[in-house]
Amino acid sequence: MPVRTISTQPYADQKPGTSGLRKRVAHFQQPHYLENFVQAIFDSLEPARRSTLLLGGDGRYFNAEAIQTILRLAVGNGFRRILVGQHGYLSTPAASLLIRRYQLDGGIILSASHNPGGPEGDFGVKFNTHSGGPAPEKVTARIHQLASNLTQYRIAEMEPVPLQVCQSWQVDDSRIEVIDSVQDYADLMQQLFDFELIRQRFADGQLRIAYDAMHAITGPYAREIFVNRLGAAPECLLNAEPKPDFGEAHPDPNLAHARALQAIMNQSSGAPDLGAASDGDGDRNMILGQRFFVTPSDSLAILAANAQQVPGYREGIVGVARSMPTSRAVDRVAAQLGVACYETPTGWKFFGNLLDDGRITFCGEESFGTGSAHIREKDGLWAVLFWLNLLAARDESVAEIVMAHWQQYGRDYYTRHDYENLDSRIAEQLVADLRAQLSSLPGRNIDGFVITAADDFCYKDPVDGSLSEHQGLRIIFGEQARIVVRLSGTGTEGATLRLYVEQYEPPGGELIEPTERYLQPLLVVSESLLPICHQTGRVGPNVIT
C-alpha cells in the first residue's frame, strides 16, 4: 500500500483553544486543512508515543469523512494499532476511558462539543494524550507551532474502512479495529454506582427519569445504561438517535435549548423525578427536578457533599477543584469536609495534573461539566447516574436535596450572561478597559458592594509549576459576592463575552428567591463596571444560565 508525501502550505489559524480546534465545517473542508492539523498533532508526539491511537466523534456532519481521512493519515504515519468507534461514534468520556484502559498513546475526538452541527454548523478536532485527558497547553502550543510551519503530510492510499460492524482490518503493518465504545463505558458506570438499587426503584415505580440525548452521541450509551441495564422504560429517552445536524437543534444542555425536556419536567403533575440532558459529545449535563433547575455549580457542590452515598466513593474524597468562573459553592463543602479546594482556569485540561497527582476526586465547571477521577474528562452520564443514585439512596426529591444543602451550607445565587457574536474589537476593548481599572478598584463602594480585590486571574499549577495568565477578570466583594468577565474560546464566529455574577446568602437567610431578582442589584453594578449593553447596543444577553 503506497504512502504519499503531500506538499502543503500552513494555515495561519490552527491554534487550538480550550477544547481543540473548532471552526465551521466549510473551513475544515478547505484543501489540506484537516490533513495539516492532524499531521501537526502526529508530529508533536514523541516517537515512542506514535504507535497506538483512538479515533471517533460525536456523529456530527463531516464526522464520517474526517475519520476516513485521519485513518489514512494514521496509517501513513506508521501507527500500528488504531481503534475506531463503531459507526465512527465515540463520546468524549468514553474516549478518555478507552485511552486509559487500553493504554493507548492518545486519541483524536471529532467534535465541537455543544456547538451546532450540520453543513452550516461547526466541526472540531481535539487531541487527548495517553493520560486520557485533553492535551495540556504545552502540547497544544507545540501543535500550533508545527501547524504554522507545516510543509508536508504523509497519507496512505487505501480504501475506506467499513465502520458499521465491529471487526479488525489489517493494512500492511497497521491494524484498524472497529470497536463498540458503549460496553466498556457502561461497565465502568456499573462499578461506580448502585445499579441494583436504581433498578429496584425503577421497577417499583418509585423513580422515573426523562433523558434528552439531543440527537447527539449519548443516545446509544443512554439506551444501554438506562433501558438495557437499569430497566427504565424506552420512552424515558428523548432524541436518542444521533443525527449529523442534531435534528436541526442546538446540542447544548441548558435552559435555552432543552425546551422539550423542560416542558416534561414543568408539568403540574406526573413529571418524572429526574430530568437530564447531555451535549454533542456527551461531556456536559443538565439536571432538573420537578419544576426545579439545579445550577451546575450547585450540582458539583451537592455531589461532593454526598459522595459517600455512592458505592464508588464510599471512602470519601481527597479534594475538589472548580474552574475560576464556577461559583464558590463547592469551596464551602470542601471547607466543612476539611479537604483541599483548587481554583483553575476554564478548560478541563487544567484538572488533569490535579487528578493524576491524586490531589482531587471531583471537579467541575459552571458550563455544565462535572466529573471525577474515574476518567480525565468531564462526564455527562456519570453526573446523571450520580443524581439517580442519590435520589434512590436518600429517597428525596431533587428539590428537597438541594434545599437541604442550602440550609446547611448557604446558597450561592449565580447566573451567567452570554453575549454572543459581538464585534471582536468592541468585546476586546470592553475587557481591556476593565483590565486597565483593576488596580484602582479595591476599596471602591458601588451601591453598597465594597470591592475587596480585583485581578486578571493567573494560575500557577501546583503540580508542575506552569503559569497560565490572563484567564479572566475577577471583581471580588469579599465573601459577599463576585463578578467575573471572560472572552470565550469555544465559539467559531465573532466574539462571545461571558459575564458571571454570584452572591452568597448564608444558611437561614433568603434561600428561595428567584435568581435574577435576587441578583439584580449586583447586575446593575456589573453594567457600571462593564457597560456591555451601552457599548454594543444590545438590550441583554443572548443566553442566561
Catalytic machinery residues? 113
281: exposed, middle or buried (Cβ count in 10 Å: 0-12, 13-18, 19+): buried
Phi, psi (deg, nearest 5) at residue 416 = -125, 130
C-alpha distances in Å from residue 377, one per residue of 33, 98, 140, 514: 27, 12, 17, 32
Asked if 280 and 216 touch (Cβ cutoff 8 Å), the reply is yes
Report which DSSP code applies to 231.
Answer: -
For the record, the C-alpha cell of 61 comes out as 456532519
Phi, psi (deg, nearest 5) at residue 402 = -65, -45
Asked if 380 and 364 touch (Cβ cutoff 8 Å), the reply is no
Among candidates 446, 465, 462, which has minimal Cα distance to 454? 446
Among candidates 142, 136, 141, 140, which has minimal Cα distance to 353? 136
- Kindly give, in sequence order, each residue whose CB lies less than 8 Å from that of residue 3, ignoring residues fewer than 6 positions away: 75, 76, 154, 155, 156, 157
β-bridge pairing 81-89 and 174-179: parallel
Count CB neighbours of 366 within 10 A: 25
CA distance 209 to 187: 20
CA distance 541 to 528: 16
Among candidates 360, 367, 287, which has minimal Cα distance to 320? 360
- Kindly give, in sequence order, each residue whose CB lies less than 8 Å from that of residue 304, ignoring residues fewer than 6 positions away: 317, 320, 330, 333, 334, 337, 362
Q: Render 40-83 in DSSP notation, one character per residue.
A: HHHHHS-GGG-SEEEEEE---TTHHHHHHHHHHHHHHTT-SEEE
β-bridge pairing 106-110 and 52-57: parallel
